[in-house]
Amino acid sequence: MLEIIEGLCSDVCAGRRPGTPGGDAARRLVMQAFREAGLDPYEQPVPGCGGANVLAKIRGDLPRYVLVGAHFDHLGTMGKHVFRGADDNAAAVAILIEVGRELAAERGGRGVIIAAFDGEEPPHFMSGAMGSREFVRVNRDPIDFMVCMDLVGHRFGPAVLPDEVGGSLFALGAERSAGTYELVRSMKRAEAGLVVRPADAEIIPPLSDYEAFWEQRIPFLFLSAGRSRVYHTPEDTPDKLDLAKIAATARWLTRFVRASRTREPTSFIDRTLDRGTLDEVGELLDVLTPFSQEAATARHQVTQLASQCDRAGNLPEKQRYALGALVGMLESSLQ
């Protein structure tokens, strides 16, 4: 995986901006890595950004699919500066390919689509030029579930913090399909050094390729460790990644996809996860309190919000903003 990350962050790929020689070089690198993983990749043009998605299908016993996706493009160059995009999103692409490698020869249950999307970054973000939106527009294969990864390569917070914090990976959207939250919870600590924390999909705006699938009411899970201090800067380089966490995430996601291939059919539901999100934030703040007075204050706020949840675990609508603000504060303070 590190070889793939370093290749995507190289001068040859020059920031991987779609429609540039660097973007084309990155796509060729991804295609070759797919082949070396035992996959049979093909390109899907994305006219809006001048690039192309790289896709591979792993056939199953059922003519339906679980899609695992991550964008491979980044911001390109600005003057003498190359935006390497190690965490955003080379690490996720490496994990994506590793999952494909593990599953390439398996045929049980649903098939799997391994999708490296182009055109996720500005100026294409949230427009029809995104590779994920183009995929949803032209795809004819029935997708039962979608997993998206973005910003999964870094430790959550400073290195001095224990793995209970640093190993956190947030899983948004599990509440939006029957049985998914329970599955994620059962696997929360399935891999050493990794803690997968379910959180409500609406605590942040839709910020990555899962948005196109959410819009079509396709069940999804968005995995992210949030924005690091080097997010969208030339300092987002491979040396700042947490390689052990990346390896653990690849193992965890392989387990999750295997379970998703054979689980009972699920459907999109309109449900929130306010109390579950508060529980996860509370766990983090309990660990952080000895390090910070601000964490103790925030922990008190979590307790107050939890007391306002109804029997179904939902906050009053006017308090949901406070939950999002609390999560945003936590992300900012740990960058």
Domain ranges within the chain, ordered by starting residue: 2-262, 274-333
φ, ψ for residue 68, nearest 5 deg: -120, 125
DSSP per-residue string spanning 163-208: HHHHTEEEEETGGGBTTHHHHHHHTTTSSTT-EEEEE-GGGS---S
Q: How confident is the model at residue 165 (pLDDT cuts 50, 70, 90)?
A: very high
Least confident of 141-145, 167-171, 184-188, 330-334: 330-334
CATH no. of 2-262: 3.40.630.10
Distance CA 308, CA 273 (A): 14
Predicted TM-score (pTM) of this structure: 0.96
Residue 128 has pLDDT above 90, yes or no: yes
Residue 3, both tokens: 């070889």
List, for residues 229-273, the tens digit of each pLDDT value: 999 999 999 999 999 999 999 999 999 999 999 999 899 999 999
Pair 219, 266: CB distance under 8 Å: yes
List, for residues 57-107, the tens digit of each pLDDT value: 999 999 999 999 999 999 999 999 999 999 999 999 999 999 999 999 999
Residue 329 has pLDDT above 90, yes or no: no
